[in-house]
């Protein structure tokens, strides 16, 4: 994968966490940079660690499923992206929670980074340099989430669902590109 693809992938993965950060920005009383940074660090670290865990799992099975790995990558990205699009369209209202407690933030960070775990599995099949890709994903997520807190503070719910839909579309398009490249239909 090229740097541009990893950047797009990172932005797509960051959109779940961005949407939660927008909610945090709406809910946290007296939002300041320190509180926004705490939110960003939780999500950024989780998004950086999960692809490495997924990669470790994927490497264990790489030789067994190498002949159809592109279908797995396509399927996982299609599923994750489709789920994000569906959730963005569904527009369900979640209760606002201003807590930055360890237990609450840990659960949110893990929940929003499960898709990064699945992407990490695909990294093993695509032979991506997982440490640098994970660092890029983590830093992008951190930046998006800090910004998301301020977006939430100033703009509220208006952007949350659009961000989730956009992230889902990016993941689906990357999955389609991977499949088309492996099938020899697209050469970049």
Q: For residue 14, what are the domain limits? A: 3-182
Provide the b/e sequence for 79-117 (b: ≥16 CB within 10 Å): ebbeebbebbeeeeeeeeeeeeeeeebeebbeebbebbb
Q: How far apart are CA 36 and CA 149, in angstroms?
A: 6
Q: How far apart are CA 188 and CA 145, in angstroms?
A: 32
Closest CA to 47 of 139, 163, 129: 139
The pLDDT score that the predictor gives to residue 132 is 95
Give the pLDDT score at 140: 97
CA dist 16 and 76 (Å) reads 16
- pLDDT given for residue 188 in this prediction: 56
The CA distance from 126 to 40, in Å, is 28
Query: The domain spanning residue 52 has which CATH number?
Result: 1.20.1250
- The answer to whether position 187 is within a domain reads no
Domain count, the chain: 1
From the list 125, 128, 109, the residue with the least C-alpha distance to 50 is 109
Q: Is 188 inside a domain boundary?
A: no
Residue with tokens 């809910």: 27
Amino acid 150: pLDDT:
93
Q: What is the pLDDT of residue 187?
A: 61
pLDDT tens per residue across all 188 residues of the chain: 788 989 999 998 898 789 888 878 887 888 999 999 999 999 999 999 999 999 998 888 777 776 776 787 788 778 877 887 887 788 655 545 567 888 888 888 888 888 888 889 888 888 789 999 999 999 999 999 999 999 988 876 566 677 778 777 877 887 788 788 778 886 65
């Amino acid at each position: 994968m090229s740097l541009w693809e990893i950047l797009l992938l990172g932005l797509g993965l960051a959109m779940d966490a961005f949407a939660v950060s927008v909610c945090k920005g709406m809910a946290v009383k007296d939002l300041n940079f320190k509180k926004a940074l705490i939110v960003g660090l939780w999500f950024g670290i989780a998004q950086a660690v999960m692809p490495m865990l997924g990669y470790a799992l994927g490497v264990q099975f790489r030789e067994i499923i190498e002949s159809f790995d592109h279908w797995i990558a396509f399927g996982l990205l299609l599923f994750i992206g489709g789920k994000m699009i569906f959730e963005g369209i569904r527009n369900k209202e979640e209760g606002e929670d201003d807590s930055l407690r360890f237990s609450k933030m840990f659960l949110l960070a893990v929940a929003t980074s499960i898709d990064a775990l699945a992407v990490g599995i695909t990294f093993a099949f695509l032979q991506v340099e997982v440490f640098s890709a994970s660092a890029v994903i983590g830093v992008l997520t951190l930046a998006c989430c800090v910004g998301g807190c301020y977006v939430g503070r100033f703009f509220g719910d208006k952007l949350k669902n659009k961000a989730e839909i956009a992230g889902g579309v990016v993941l689906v398009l990357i999955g389609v590109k991977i499949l088309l490249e492996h099938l020899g239909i697209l050469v970049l």
